[in-house]
Structure 1
Amino acid sequence: MTDYQRFRDKLATINAISMLPFHNESKDIHWEGLRQNINFLLDNDTEVIIPNGNTGEFYTLTVEEAKEVTREVVNLVNGQATVVAGVGYSVDTAIELGKAAEDDGADCVMIHQPVHPFITDQGAVSYFKKIIEALDIPSVIYFKDPHLSDDVLTELASLEKLVGVKYAVNDVPRITKLIRQTPAEHNIAWICGTAEKWAPFFHFAGTVGFTSGLINVHPEKSQQMLRAMRDGDTESMWMAWEDALAFEELRAKYNNGNNVVVIKETMEQLGMIGGVPREPVGPLNEQDKREVAAIIEGWDFSLQNN
């Protein structure tokens, strides 16, 4: 039986969005690459791993592929970290994916915000609530549309099986107000959903962890930021932020179009298996590849497990 009240504490850390490599020509899933990438995260003491996140190219996958990815990641992790499986699409499909994740041993699901072009606050409440209540394992909501009201989260916050919110609207006063107005007894783990660039600002607003793509290539830098936050060492926190900033800004280029492919290119340049992206993500241009190389050149990997 899941202790939903205590599950929040498991999310109070770096939430790693795991990368999913594809073969160059066929663009089939590169399963050996996935194995190596998950083992890299585990070897570097990653506590929460999220397969089928946006940076894991969830929306390029078929439903069966998404199920396979979750199953494989759960098997690879084998209890060494908390697995939070991304689910989404329609209500029924999200529930189908969630039940499959549950059966395969995932610890939790992350419900993607619907990509439907027409969405209302009450429609969003109903969407998330139906999925949360249909599953036995706990849920995290991925909230990223600034046009949706935070009232959606306020209305859902009392649900026992809602244990976290990955908040990805970069509005610090907004999330500060939301966190301060949400009763502490609801036990929501508020997570900065926009990685290291925004994590320090969200930390002071009251978040307890942050998502990361950087952790797939330079976990020590992400962990330095987390340690500094926990220790109240603001100088070290801002130093880690400065070191991550160029990487995160390159990912944000072209209205976040580079989000996935910068990480994949970095992995390739480091001798890892990043693979190619699937459409509609395109390959990194030559100028941005050179910028990746310059960023890597400036990193210190001396404390990292390879």
Structure 2
Amino acid sequence: MLTTLTPDALVASVLAVPPLARNADYSLNDAENTKIIRHIEAGGIRTLLYGGNANFYHIPLSEYDQVLAYLGQAAGPDTLVIPSAGPAYGLSIDQAKIIRKHKFPTVMLLPQVGITTSKGVAAGVERFVQAAGVPALLYIKHDGYIEPEDVGPLAEKKLISGIKYATVRNDADTKADPYLHKLLGYVDKKIVISGIGEQPAIVHVDGFKLGGFTSGCICVAPNLSRKMLVALRAGDIGEADRIRGIFRGLEDLRNAINPIRVLHEAVRLAGIANTGPLTPLLTNAPEADHARIREAATKLLAADKA
């Protein structure tokens, strides 16, 4: 695992956002998680971001040290691993004490929905960074969570390593996006990462010149996602759009059912690893949806291997 971080290293690869495999009793399944990591690394991906797809929102504090210890030793020596903390402020401060025991160069702060103010979020980020001893990867998922003018000082003081920007908008609004335009007036666009997978990545990376993008479906098709980023950086938008279309089948199912639940099953049904049960407060996708998920996942995996 990489233990140092530069802005270039953060976006050197697509940021894979894997699920976290569990045993039937909800305990961590090291062997199956290692299968997922190796599959992603075999596709040339060197950044693993454990957040929503890994259900870090509901991870027990009593398990946190064990999970971080596993992630720190499971990845290859040139792979960047970014765990998450939060979303509640109090939980993140308790997690920060555990983070200090490990060597992760940055940690993503999960966004707290409700009972927040913009300046309160900024203060929470600063206090978390002071407690953890590493900069935070800021996750912006909703308008009103934190205003661009409050993000600017966090970047200036090097309290954040980057920003995962994942506010979902329709196609027209994605291209316009006044919030993103304003945000880029306060921070270097290279540290802002498109956080919603392959579908908006062309607009974000080619149009807004963001540093890179995250992906969940990359856990099925790492080669294709990597090639899409290569095409974007080479200015080959036609090729990037062609690859994006290959991901659409599984992405449409994730949007229609639930992004986390569908990806969790897709990795299992494609035969990559047995992801097991999702921990509460989530549940696995119903069996009635499995046939559609299996079809989309196996088709995507076959395209990745072609």
Q: Normalising by the residue count of structure 1, what TM-score does the alignment of the two structures yield?
A: 0.87
1:17 aligns with 2:17: yes
1:111 CA drift (Å): 1.0
Q: Give the whole-Å Cα distance in 1 for the aligned partners of 2:73 and 2:91.
A: 23
In the TM superposition, residue 300 of structure 1 has moved relative to its aligned partner by 5.8
Secondary structure (helix, strand or coil) at the match of 1:93 reads helix
1:280 is matched with 281
CA-based RMSD of the aligned residues comes to 2.5
* Identical-pair percentage: 20
1:120 Cα deviation from its structure 2 partner: 1.0
C-alpha spacing 1:240/1:99, structure 2 compared with 1 (3 Å): farther
SS at match of 2:81: strand
User: In structure 1, how many angstroms separate the alpha carbons of the residues matched to 2:97 and 2:35?
Assistant: 26
Taking the aligned partners of 1:175 and 1:247, their CA distance within structure 2 comes to 28
Name the counterpart of 1:107: 105
2-side partners of 1:174 and 1:77: how far apart? 38
Q: For 1:158-169, what aligned pairs fall within 5 Å after superposition? A: 158-169=156-167
Counterpart of 1:143 in structure 2 is: 140
Per-residue deviation, 1:145: 1.9
What does residue 124 of structure 1 align with? Answer: 121
Preserved CA contact (<8 Å) 2:190 2:210: no
Aligned equivalent of 1:29: 28
For 2:213, the equivalent position in structure 1 comes to 210
1:53-92 alignment runs, 5 A limit: 53-92=51-90
The question of whether the paired residues in 2 share the 8 Å contact of 1:14 and 1:46 is answered with: yes
Match for residue 41 of structure 1? 40
Deviation at 1:197, TM superposition (A): 1.7
The answer for the alignment partner of 1:261 in structure 2 is 261
- 1:130-179 superposed Cα distances (whole Å, 9 cap, x missing partner): 11233332221011122333333234221213120001113532354135
Call closer, same or farther: CA 1:3–1:250 in 2, change over 3 Å: closer
Q: Secondary structure at the match of 2:26?
A: coil
Q: Assess, with a 3 A threshold, how the Cα gap between structure 1 residues 183 and 152 changes in structure 2: closer, same or farther.
A: closer
Change (3 A) 1:253 1:181: same
In the TM superposition, what is the alpha-carbon distance from 1:86 to its structure 2 partner?
A: 0.6
What residue in structure 2 maps to residue 96 of structure 1?
Answer: 94
Q: Deviations over 1:17-57 (max 9, x none)?
A: 12211223x22222221122222222322211123x01101
| Matched letter for residue 263 of structure 1 | L
The 2-side partners of 1:190 and 1:96 are apart by 27
Q: 1:194 to 1:234 in 2, by over 3 A?
A: same
SS at match of 2:210: coil
Matches within 5 A, 1:153-302: 153-171=151-169, 172=174, 173-184=177-188, 189-203=191-205, 204-254=207-257, 258-271=258-271, 272-299=273-300, 301=302
SS of the aligned residue for 1:134 comes to helix
Q: Equivalents in 2 of 1:297, 1:62: separation in Å?
A: 33
Distance 1:93 1:27 in 2: 20
Alpha-carbon distance change, 277 to 300 in structure 1, aligned in 2, over 3 angstroms = closer
Give 5+ residue unaligned stretches, structure 1. Answer: none
Task: Specify whether residues 159 and 209 from structure 1 end up closer, same or farther in structure 2 by C-alpha distance, changes over 3 A only.
Answer: same
Contact 1:37 1:273 in 2 (8 A): no
Q: CA deviation at 1:92?
A: 4.3
